[in-house]
A and B are shown apart, each in its own frame.
Chain A
Amino acid sequence: GAGVSQSPSNKVTEKGKDVELRCDPISGHTALYWYRQSLGQGLEFLIYFQGNSAPDKSGLPSDRFSAERTGGSVSTLTIQRTQQEDSAVYLCASSPDGASNQPQHFGDGTRLSIL
């Protein structure tokens, strides 16, 4: 497809387990963002990738969260030793080059539930 693809769409796991969430941005988009959306809340910025530059990790809530982007395309968000408060929808978005006048293109998110 031509849009941002995220997998899995749903993930249920036990507290303490590690999880990996995947994002496939629109082809050619160099800017990639991860957000967290807790129930009834707005978007919480997590991390931003732009091309081959060092990512902006300023939104990651703890050192249990990490992300990488391989080859400037697919990104993986990893949460280690999951906690119940990590339960949320994780959204990925991309834009052509991160310019402030560019709208973001969002995937449908991964709904993460920690038991």
Chain B
Amino acid sequence: AQSVTQPDIHITVSEGASLELRCNYSYGATPYLFWYVQSPGQGLQLLLKYFSGDTLVQGIKGFEAEFKRSQSSFNLRKPSVHWSDAAEYFCAVGATGGSYIPTFGRGTSLIVHP
């Protein structure tokens, strides 16, 4: 069965600093990969997705993610964090093996200090 691991429960950064949120997946082939953001009191919003091709994908709000097959990783990055980026971030793998249910990581809570 596929799985998604987000090793960091909380990440604290200063405003203006760079950010990298880690995501590792377990699946035999290249899966469909997604990053979502959840602001307080809201649902999840898609930041970006990877299907194939260029391993560096750009998303909304200045985020990007890099797919590394050799490391089974899909880490999310942002060069300069804004206070409004404080939120919960979820990595997800699209459904595989005949299932229609995607697999979500447990999420990483981003705290931004002024």
Q: Is chain B's interface secondary structure helix, strand, loop, or mixed overall?
A: loop
CB distance from A115 to the nearest CB of B (A): 20
Give the interface residue-count category, chain A.
Answer: 20 to 34
Assess the B102–A100 pair: CB atoms within 8 A. yes
65-94 of chain A: CB within 8 A of chain B: 91, 93
What does the 1/0 interface line of A4-45 toward B look like (CB < 8 Å)?
100000000000000000000000000101000000011101
Give the interface residue-count category, chain B.
Answer: 20 to 34
Task: Tell me the complex Cα distance, A56–B100, Å.
Answer: 9
Assess the A91–B44 pair: CB atoms within 8 A. yes
Q: Which 7 A-B pairs have the closest CB atoms?
A: A106-B43, A100-B94, A42-B106, A100-B95, A106-B44, A103-B46, A98-B100
Q: List 13 A-B contacts (CB under 8 A).
A: A33-B101, A42-B104, A42-B107, A48-B100, A100-B102, A101-B32, A103-B34, A103-B46, A103-B49, A104-B44, A105-B46, A106-B44, A106-B45
